[in-house]
Amino acid sequence: MTFLIPAIILIAASSLYFWPRSKPVRIDLITHVVKPEKLQVTILERGMLEALDNKDIVCQVRSGSKGSSFSTTIKWVIDDGSHVKQNDLIVELDDSGLQEQLKSQQIARDRARNDFIQAEANYDIVKSQNESDIATAEIAIELSALDLEKFQEGDYKQQLAEIEGRFFMAESDLSMWNDRDVWLDRMVSKGYLTPKQALADRFKLKSAEFSLEKVKEELRVLKDYTKKRTLTELKSKRDEAKRAKDRLITQSKSKEIQGINDTLTKKSIFSKEELRFKEIEDEIKKCYLLAPQDGLVVYYVSEQARFGSGSQQATIAQGEPVREGQKLMRIPNLSHMMVNTKVHEAMRNRVRGDQWKKTGYGEIRLAGLSLMRQPLLGALSAQAAYFELHNEFADKEQELIGNGLPATIRIDSFPDKVMQGHVKHVDEVASQSDWLTSDVRVYRTLVSIDESLPDLKPGMSASVTIYTDTKAEDVLAIPVQAVLGNTQNGFFCFTLTPDGPIEKAIKLGVSNEKMIEIKDGLNEGDVVVLNPKSLSRDSKKDSSKAEKNDAPTPPSSKKKDKKSKT
What count of residues does the chain have?
Answer: 566
Q: Do residue 216 and residue 160 come from a single domain?
A: yes
pLDDT at 386: 52
pLDDT of residue 185: 65
Q: Are residues 318 and 367 in the same domain?
A: no
Q: In this predicted model, what pLDDT tens digit does every residue of 167-194 receive, in sequence order?
A: 888 788 777 767 666 666 666 666 666 6
| In a shared domain, residues 187 and 165 | yes
What does the alpha-carbon distance between residue 344 and residue 439 come to, in Å, rounded to a whole number? 11
**What pLDDT, on a 0 to 100 scale, did the predictor assign at position 339?**
92
Residues 110 and 137 reside in one and the same domain: yes
474, 443 in Cβ contact below 8 A?
Answer: no
> For position 141, which CATH number holds?
1.10.287
Q: Are residues 276 and 178 in the same domain?
A: yes
pLDDT of residue 111: 95
> Residue 59 in contact with residue 324, Cβ under 8 Å?
yes
37 with 181, same domain: the answer is: no
**Among 268, 269, 267, residue whose Cα is nearest residue 123:** 267
Specify whether 460 is located in the same domain as 415: yes
The predicted-structure confidence for 401-457, as pLDDT tens digits, reads as follows 888 899 999 999 888 899 999 999 999 888 866 555 556 688 999 999 988 888 888
pLDDT of residue 261: 93
Verify that 110 and 168 share a domain, yes or no. yes
CA distance 527 to 508: 17
Identify whether 10 is part of a domain.
no
Assess if residue 207 is contained within a domain: yes
Same domain, yes or no: 272 and 385: no
pLDDT of residue 89: 93
Please tell me the total count of domains within the chain. Answer: 4
Task: Count CA within 13 A, CB hemisphere, residue 538.
Answer: 13
Residue 7 within a domain: no
Give the pLDDT of residue 11.
47
Q: Decide: residue 123, CB within 10 A, 0-12 exposed, 13-18 middle, 19+ buried.
A: buried
- Residue 325 inside a domain? The answer is yes
Q: Are 53 and 336 within 8 A, CB to CB?
A: yes
CA angle 222, 227, 233 (to 5 degrees): 140
C-alpha gyration radius of the chain: 60
Alpha-carbon distances, residue 49 vs 98, 118, 337, 340, 510 (angstroms): 39, 64, 7, 6, 29
Same domain, 482 and 381: no
**Residues 6 or more apart whose Cβ sits within 8 Å of residue 359:** 396, 397, 398, 399
Q: Is 549 within a domain?
A: no
What are residue 297's phi and psi, to 5 degrees? -80, 125
pLDDT of residue 91: 93
Residue 62 sits in the same domain as residue 117:
no
CATH code at position 410: 2.40.30.170
In a domain, 6, yes or no: no
Quick one: 193 and 212 in the same domain? yes
Q: How far apart are CA 246 and CA 250, in angstroms?
A: 6
Q: For 225, which DSSP code?
A: I
CATH number of the domain residue 305 falls in: 2.40.50.100
Q: CA quadruple 207, 208, 213, 216: dihedral positive or negative? A: positive
Interior angle at CA 290, CA 285 and CA 296, nearest 5:
160
Compute the distance between CA of residue 62 and CA of residue 70 in angstroms, rounded to an integer: 8
Domain of residue 244: give its range.
99-283
pLDDT at residue number 489: 85
Task: Please report the pLDDT score of residue 6 as a whole number.
Answer: 46
The answer to whether position 152 is within a domain reads: yes
32 falls within a domain: yes
Give the span between the Cα atoms of 249 and 238, in whole angstroms: 17
Rounded average pLDDT per 10-residue block, the chain, 566 residues: 47 45 64 87 87 86 73 90 90 91 94 94 92 91 90 85 84 73 65 65 72 84 86 90 91 91 94 94 92 86 56 74 88 86 85 83 63 47 51 65 89 90 90 61 90 84 89 86 86 89 89 85 91 67 46 38 36
